[in-house]
Structure 1
């Protein structure tokens, strides 16, 4: 096993798998479960997705692909023997998926151990009695990329350069639509910024109320910290469809694109911060440089499906899915 892959699936430390530790197996599907210490479990099906299905639009994306990052990944794949990082997909699970996954987990696992990141790793081989029906159901539904947009684009480009071989596949982990934890990225504005200036950008566009502290965040609302005070911010209920209607897009157009310039000798920056970052750390940064913080809720997965179906892409750093599958358990031969 290796945790050395970054978000692109690039093996940062050159960790090659030891082939002696892998058992040869006939074509099969696998149920893969990651369980946190608190008992929360995330379960999906590991399978090959045909690259020609990606080319046909059956695997849909909601993030843009950076050409330079793609070329770097292609260069890496041509030279590395590292175990692949699984591409994480979502789908609207059908009855066969639910029954096959449930029944498979009643059997004896083929892999079961305490893995990295505080997650117990368990793998079962899907019984032959379910394999064909499950493969047919998965093959008849649209799949949506949760994590691995660049890896998917690299597989597609490698397939084209190889002459589009029909047997080419991409190793994926398929979850139901609600089978992963979806987080947002917050936005921190570097200071100094006058609270009156920032609140003035919201006036007449978004509803703002002074608050005693950060509140829970349903979609359509944000928290704002500026001038050592917390505010609740309500976004318009009547919003455009698609990307333009996302909370992060409204924040960008109403506030971030209209920020006042930094004072002479200073640079105004807007940092994207994972929701897992402790709020007290972010608040301290704002108090030190007199900056501001907007905290956001993640969009519902269905909104990402609609964006993908429409061929749109979300703004950079709009969502974060977890847990990431451990690299090195599965090796495609």
Structure 2
């Protein structure tokens, strides 16, 4: 039984919502974030990446940065750029990319569901990344970037959402990357009750994107429980901001790989070693995006190749080992190229599928030696790994479109 509750949201005024809404904080480096804020001074990046308000000599994790984030948030609320709902509500958030729509429910998920594995993970987190968001959430006393969650589609929830979408949208704007955003608010007590009751029947929820933000929100909640021994579990710090999508609406793009060298192999030697695990077909200059599991594109020396994993490799029953990202990692990146830990090895880089095959060619023609195009991990595979209590290799999934920060703010108290 999943505890998915409405909340008293702080949100932008309608006329500035499109200007405030920002891509997630970790999409940008510091200089890119500065440029985006120069382009749009109201961007929520000012708060999510408050180091942009200082000279580069000030460290990203300086205490002043987090204090600035809290002050900026309170200042925008005081200045009337945000409004606070008078009651607890749910929201419907639709994103349309290239004509394809996906619609989720904006709500608060329970930290107890996270701790008790009702909310399931498929990635490890890194402590330094957690600490940054812990300090940000704690200092702002608010969660500002929603966690991207998925669940198995339920008709009773879909019906309510479809009905609400027939009404007038609260927000309707197109962001600079071409994504169309629609938001509706659910205030009617009967609909709120129906949705909450419907999620009581959801046995598992899955983190699609935002493992570090989720872990950070949980740790802030536990910290506040410890500081408030008389709490009853219903306080806002016991919940974290989320957007929950039925799995049949989600699109996962590939997460491609580029490698700096051939680990001392000549090209001919490397190809022969690959043939021990894959059928290798030379395609020439024609870029190749895999069309099925077990197939990979490889670009090196100005030529594309199609790699097809041998049958015994493709038929592994283990939900992690059968993933294409695992096959590539185990048989080529590790066995041949010597990349044992892709999390820490400086010879590998990861390219989101949204950037296309031309980006792979560009990297190989500049600072890398070889690129691999991937078939995307499916949401079914993500569920299978999470249900087995296992973890995917790093950079296994790339979800598009990205949820915006700053549209929904959840105060912790």
Normalising by structure 2, report the TM-score.
0.73
In structure 1, what is the equivalent of residue 49 of structure 2?
12
Shift of 1:87: 0.6
Q: Is the 8 A contact 1:206 1:234 kept in 2?
A: yes
The within-5 A match list for 1:104-119 is 104-119=164-179
Shift of 1:133: 1.9
Rounded Cα–Cα distance in structure 2 between residues aligned with 1:290 and 1:99? 49
Secondary structure (helix, strand or coil) at the match of 2:316 reads: coil
Residues 1:27 and 2:77 are matched in the alignment:
no
In structure 2, what is the equivalent of residue 3 of structure 1?
22
Residues 1:298 and 2:379 are matched in the alignment:
no
In structure 1, what is the equivalent of residue 116 of structure 2?
56
Q: Is the 8 A contact 1:16 1:83 kept in 2?
A: no
Rounded Cα–Cα distance in structure 2 between residues aligned with 1:331 and 1:318? 29
Structure 1 residues 260 and 67, CA, compared in 2 at 3 Å: closer, same or farther?
closer
Structure 1 residues 83 and 16, CA, compared in 2 at 3 Å: closer, same or farther?
farther
Shift of 1:190: 1.6
Rounded Cα–Cα distance in structure 1 between residues aligned with 2:95 and 2:48? 21
Residues 1:253 and 2:300 are matched in the alignment:
no
Q: Is the 8 A contact 2:142 2:409 kept in 1?
A: no
Shift of 1:46: 0.5
The within-5 A match list for 1:217-232 is 217=290, 218-232=292-306
Q: Is the 8 A contact 1:51 1:170 kept in 2?
A: yes
Structure 1 residues 272 and 42, CA, compared in 2 at 3 Å: closer, same or farther?
same
Secondary structure (helix, strand or coil) at the match of 2:177 reads: helix
Q: Is the 8 A contact 2:259 2:371 kept in 1?
A: yes
Which has more helix, going by share of residues?
2
Shift of 1:158: 1.6
In structure 1, what is the equivalent of residue 63 of structure 2?
none
Shift of 1:81: 5.9
Secondary structure (helix, strand or coil) at the match of 1:178 reads: helix
- Ranges of 4+ aligned residues in structure 1 off by more than 6 Å: none
Q: Is the 8 A contact 2:174 2:181 kept in 1?
A: yes
In structure 2, what is the equivalent of residue 239 of structure 1?
316
Normalising by structure 1, report the TM-score.
0.89
Shift of 1:83: 5.9
In structure 1, what is the equivalent of residue 157 of structure 2?
97
In structure 1, what is the equivalent of residue 268 of structure 2?
196
Rounded Cα–Cα distance in structure 2 between residues aligned with 1:312 and 1:283? 33
Structure 1 residues 208 and 97, CA, compared in 2 at 3 Å: closer, same or farther?
same
Structure 1 residues 154 and 103, CA, compared in 2 at 3 Å: closer, same or farther?
same
Secondary structure (helix, strand or coil) at the match of 2:95 reads: strand
The within-5 A match list for 1:35-74 is 35-36=96-97, 38-74=98-134
Unaligned residue ranges in structure 2 (runs of 5+): 1-19, 28-44, 51-68, 340-344
Shift of 1:284: 3.8
Q: Is the 8 A contact 2:145 2:409 kept in 1?
A: no
Deviates more, 1:250-259 or 1:68-77: 68-77
Q: Is the 8 A contact 1:49 1:171 kept in 2?
A: yes
Give deviations 1:88-115, integer Å, cap 9, x for gaps. Answer: 1001011111101111101122222333
Secondary structure (helix, strand or coil) at the match of 2:320 reads: helix
Q: Is the 8 A contact 2:296 2:307 kept in 1?
A: yes
Q: Is the 8 A contact 1:63 1:313 kept in 2?
A: yes
Q: Is the 8 A contact 2:256 2:373 kept in 1?
A: yes
Number of aligned residues: 328
Shift of 1:5: 4.2
Rounded Cα–Cα distance in structure 1 between residues aligned with 2:404 and 2:258? 30
Q: Is the 8 A contact 1:201 1:254 kept in 2?
A: no
Q: Is the 8 A contact 1:191 1:268 kept in 2?
A: no
Unaligned residue ranges in structure 1 (runs of 5+): none
In structure 2, what is the equivalent of residue 179 of structure 1?
249
Residues 1:279 and 2:357 are matched in the alignment:
yes
In structure 2, what is the equivalent of residue 150 of structure 1?
212
Q: Is the 8 A contact 1:201 1:258 kept in 2?
A: no
Rounded Cα–Cα distance in structure 1 between residues aligned with 2:393 and 2:273? 21
Rounded Cα–Cα distance in structure 1 between residues aligned with 2:402 and 2:346? 33
Shift of 1:256: 0.8
Shift of 1:251: 0.9
